[in-house]
Amino acid sequence: MDHFQYKNGELYAEEVPVRRIADDVGTPFYCYSTATLERHYQVFADAVSGLDATICYAVKANSNLAVITTLARQGAAADVVSGGEMKRALVAGVAPGKIVFSGVGKTEDEMAAALRAGVLQINVESLPELEQLSRIASSLGIDANIAIRVNPDVDALTHEKIATGKSQNKFGIAWDAVPGAYALAAELPGLNVTGVAVHIGSQILTLEPFRQAYGKVAELVQSLRAQGHDIAHLDLGGGLGIPYEDETPPTPKEYGDMVTSVVGGLGCRVFFEPGRLIAGNAGIFVTRVLIVKEATARTFAIVDGAMNDLVRPTLYNAHHAIVTVKEPSKGAARTEMEVVGPICETGDTFGVPRMLPEISPGDLLCIRTAGAYGAVMASTYNARPLVPEVMVRGNDYAVVRERISVDDMMAHEVIPGWLKKAAE
């Protein structure tokens, strides 16, 4: 469920007409619904309420300060994978003791910053990282609370680019090497080994991969405890899928019941890292039609948004529903057309041909389920400005990131002195 619905023949974001935002802000832009963010967080929280659960919103899904702040005020902790994300979480009001620092390649500066900030836990993904973190923590006189991320070699049955739990993926410590990693961590100074972490991928549409991975981890916890390790935390990552098209992913309650049945008896504090599940359906991308082009093979609706703004269709062949901001009349004729951007790439498309009602230059289109991995993955390819982000709450809205103009971008570039001299 989301809060982007037709009313009075127009698409609304909560109680605000999307057309009004477009007229005020210009297109293209992202729009986020406060009510949807809050609802999705609460539904997940209710689903795992039977556990000693900490819900760490995965900041990588959407790192806008307004989004993080909205969730922090709902009680969310944060999962971060860079120093920049940690800083964003802190500025948004997430307490350091509610931040889990994950990531396969942390710099020494990031490790030191996380330790100085006093984060709740650092998830370690390799033996060299264990030794590096030990050295940095010891030099700072700080004990680092860590979990070791394990790779269970479980197929998440998702897109290959977002699968993270197979043996060939770069993430986590290989299953056979896990006992040795815990033995090493117990010997190294400056490390306080508190837990086990696992994350097998994103946009997972069935419970079975989770069940397999969590079952292996439950057995591992018991084995590690028998070896004398005090395992108090269990970080189960995120990855539960959402409907983009006609998918029917498990509900949060079904997921929560499964987790409880598999690991509920371990007596661990359980961390979850949902990102897409909370932010995905809470956002839309709004773009304006520039030209309707009748080509030999198909009809193209060329819009002012492009793959640099929303790369998921190009990068993952991802499907996003596309609707008109003006509600089509019942029984309105539909035409097959492909919605594409103006970038000089054939891959600059928002999907294979779709059946859309009659549209004309100037019409507004809404690309749905764009709240996760949309604005955060945007680029300035073709020297295109980064688009605004807008947040709606009831009948009010605010621009929560201004449009980054070409002048703004060029202000950070420098022509070297020898080129200036050559021009004189």
Q: Is residue 100 a contact partner of residue 272, using CB atoms and an 8 Å limit?
A: no
Structure tokens at 31: 């729009």
Q: Is residue 344 a contact partner of residue 323, using CB atoms and an 8 Å limit?
A: no
Handedness of CA 195, 241, 288, 315 (dihedral sign): positive
Active site residues: 344
List the pLDDT tens digit at each of the 424 positions of the chain. Answer: 799 999 999 999 999 999 999 999 999 999 999 999 999 999 999 999 999 999 999 999 999 999 999 999 999 999 999 999 999 999 999 999 999 999 999 999 999 999 999 999 999 999 999 999 999 999 999 999 999 999 988 877 777 876 676 677 788 899 999 999 999 999 999 999 999 999 999 899 999 999 999 999 999 999 999 999 999 999 999 999 999 988 899 999 999 999 999 999 999 999 999 999 999 999 999 999 999 999 888 999 999 999 999 999 999 999 999 999 999 998 889 999 999 999 999 999 998 889 999 999 999 999 999 999 999 999 999 999 999 999 999 999 999 999 999 999 999 999 999 998 766 6
Cβ contacts of 312 within 8 Å, gap of 6 or more: 318, 320, 373, 374, 377
CA–CA distance, 6 with 381 (Å, rounded to integer): 33
Angle subtended by helix axes 178-187 and 127-140, to nearest 10: 20
Structure tokens at 342: 């103006």
Give me the domains of the chain, ranges plus CATH numbers: 4-31+280-410 (2.40.37.10), 34-276 (3.20.20.10)
Q: Within 10 Å of residue 27's Cβ, how many Cβ atoms?
A: 19
